């Protein structure tokens, strides 16, 4: 019997007894870099000879993993293998499926630092950011396992005389899981286990920037007793492999996290009926944000500045929840700009395997160039750099945490998602103006408000149009079960990952009604039988 869900605690690396195992894990992973990994379809390891390489963004010539790439034919085969396995996996008792997740959570705990070390090398996460990612993956396994047991139990229905009615949740079929690189363990694992524990089968196509950590988690699922074909692992190009698995008529559901552009493309392709398709495909997409923190006058400016900087620059600003806009009341604007700048300049940019590093390299060369162009564009449009602004792409893709003040509402870096360590600071006339600016983008994922005015807090609850609103705290750091996560508008389908509604998206409700026979009829049948 499993106890009540509790979030996995974060590791305190200031204690030597915690730091030493992490150092050992980093060294262990260093010895395993550059290995080659296969595709896995229906349990079969497949090598194609066409290789995709994953590199360390902080050491851009250091290969982390080498992966055999699928082609269109193998992509089709993966969906078909998942569809075949679904015919048996769907009938596996919910408790048995949940046990696989509980075992996965336990193995993740046992290998916590090792899994974090893979992320340090593959995507440039710092010790703390990688540890938080692994903790969240554990939380997803634990939470969704318990949720499946709840969904499998008796569901409340209004009772009427003469009928026995039952509502059951049944799985959908083949789920295509396309996770991002920025939470390469947590989000990838969360979408995968949500699909599997609800009785679906999975074609997992990890990001080309983070396939190694996905493969390591796939191996854990195998170790936990997940039957072959329930989760199929496949790397390859989005245009060839991604389109094929989304379009396939046997695909029932697509779970995606990534950019707005790709999310909309997937949604459009999934909406098109394919020959032989007998359902409307379901899509859950989380597509980013342009998140704002509003700072009112008469607040603790030091606390607010710390919250802004933590939200803006955690994992190099490469979070869909990151604060990319600080909207400051005019009365405290100059003071806040100074405090934000001071805190930003104290951050250490460096190698992610150094425990003293606060932020490291951005994910790849394309991101490095794009972010640098946004910094230049911000200056051309009249912005004033008050911290950072520099970059170094020689050894890795390093960009200094950058604060651009005096940005005007409607300008490019105030509107477009940058997905990097760049913060735009905007002056607002008053709280009304701040709310208007905050809401004036196509996104609606996270936001935060610092104010001591209870009426303004209540207004923010009503009027700040985001899926996750934080009051007098930073806008990042959602916890499974505590802060169900998902946003509005172009931020996606508001699927609320880590919430009590999430698993219902992977299932459909079936009602069966039985007419009860009258007692007199039953007695007559018994007499006739005698």
Positions marked catalytic = 286, 320
Contacts for 279 with CB less than 8 Å, ≥ 6 apart? 173, 252
Alpha carbon distance 255, 333 (integer Å): 41
> Closest by alpha carbon to 321, among 292, 359, 362?
292
**What phi-psi label fits residue 213: left (phi over 0), alpha (psi between -120 and 50 degrees) or beta?**
alpha
Q: Up-side HSE of residue 274: CA atoms within 13 Å toward CB?
A: 16
> Closest by alpha carbon to 188, among 172, 177, 174, 198?
177
Sheet harboring 231-233: ordered strands across?
44-46, 39-41, 231-233, 201-204, 174-178, 251-257, 282-286
Alpha carbon distance 59, 100 (integer Å): 36
> Closest by alpha carbon to 363, among 58, 33, 26, 66?
58
Alpha carbon distance 236, 207 (integer Å): 9
- The rounded radius of gyration (Å) of the Cα atoms in the chain is 25
Alpha carbon distance 329, 307 (integer Å): 16
Helical pair 186-197 and 211-223, crossing angle rounded to 10 deg: 40
H or E element: which one contains 510? strand 507-515
| CA 116 centroid distance within chain | 16
């Amino acid at each position: 019997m499993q106890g009540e869900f509790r979030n996995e605690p974060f590791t305190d690396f200031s204690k030597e007894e915690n730091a030493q195992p992490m150092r050992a894990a980093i060294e262990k992973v260093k010895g395993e870099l550059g290995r080659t990994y296969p595709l896995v379809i229906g349990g079969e390891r497949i090598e194609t000879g066409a290789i995709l390489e994953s590199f360390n963004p902080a050491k851009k010539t250091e290969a982390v993993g080498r992966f055999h790439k699928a082609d269109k034919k193998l992509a089709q085969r993966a969906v078909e293998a998942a569809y075949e396995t679904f015919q048996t996996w769907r009938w596996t008792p919910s408790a048995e499926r949940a046990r696989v997740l509980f075992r996965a959570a336990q193995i993740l705990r046992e290998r916590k630092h090792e899994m974090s070390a893979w992320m340090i090398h593959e995507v440039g996460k710092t010790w703390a950011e990688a540890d938080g990612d692994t903790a969240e993956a554990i939380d997803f396994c634990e939470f969704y396992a318990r949720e499946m047991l709840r969904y499998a139990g008796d569901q409340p229905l209004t009772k009427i005389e003469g009928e026995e009615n039952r509502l059951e949740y049944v799985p959908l079929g083949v789920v295509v899981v396309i996770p991002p690189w920025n939470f390469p363990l947590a989000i990838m694992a969360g979408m995968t286990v949500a699909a599997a524990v609800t009785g679906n089968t999975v074609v997992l196509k990890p990001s080309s920037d983070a396939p190694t950590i996905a493969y390591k988690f796939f191996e854990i699922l195998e170790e936990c007793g997940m039957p072959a074909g329930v989760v199929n692992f496949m790397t390859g190009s989005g245009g060839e492999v991604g389109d094929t698995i989304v379009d396939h008529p046997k695909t029932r559901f697509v779970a995606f996290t990534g950019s707005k552009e790709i999310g909309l493309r997937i949604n459009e392709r999934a909406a098109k009926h394919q020959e032989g398709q007998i359902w409307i495909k379901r899509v859950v997409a989380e597509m980013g944000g342009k998140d704002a923190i509003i700072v009112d006058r008469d607040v603790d400016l030091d606390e607010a500045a710390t919250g802004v900087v933590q939200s803006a620059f955690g994992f190099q600003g490469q979070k869909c929840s990151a604060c990319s806009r600080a909207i400051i009341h005019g009365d405290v604007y100059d003071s806040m700009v100074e405090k934000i700048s001071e805190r930003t300049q104290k951050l250490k940019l460096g190698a992610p395997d150094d425990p003293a590093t606060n932020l490291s390299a951005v994910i790849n060369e394309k991101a490095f160039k794009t972010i640098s162009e946004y910094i230049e564009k911000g200056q051309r449009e009249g912005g004033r750099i008050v911290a950072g602004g520099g970059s170094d792409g020689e050894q890795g893709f390093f960009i200094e945490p950058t604060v651009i003040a005096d940005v005007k509402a409607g300008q490019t870096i105030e509107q477009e998602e940058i997905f990097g360590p760049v913060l735009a600071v905007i002056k607002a006339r008053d709280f009304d103006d701040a709310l208007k600016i905050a809401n004036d983008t196509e996104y609606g994922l996270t936001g935060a408000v610092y104010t001591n005015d209870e009426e303004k807090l209540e207004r923010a609850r009503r009027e700040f149009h985001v899926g996750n609103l934080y009051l007098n705290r930073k806008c990042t750091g959602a916890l499974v079960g505590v802060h169900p996560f998902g946003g509005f508008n172009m931020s996606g389908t508001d699927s609320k990952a880590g919430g009590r509604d999430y698993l219902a998206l992977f299932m459909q409700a079936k009602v069966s009604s039985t007419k009860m026979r009258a007692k007199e009829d039953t007695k007559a049948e018994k007499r006739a039988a005698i």
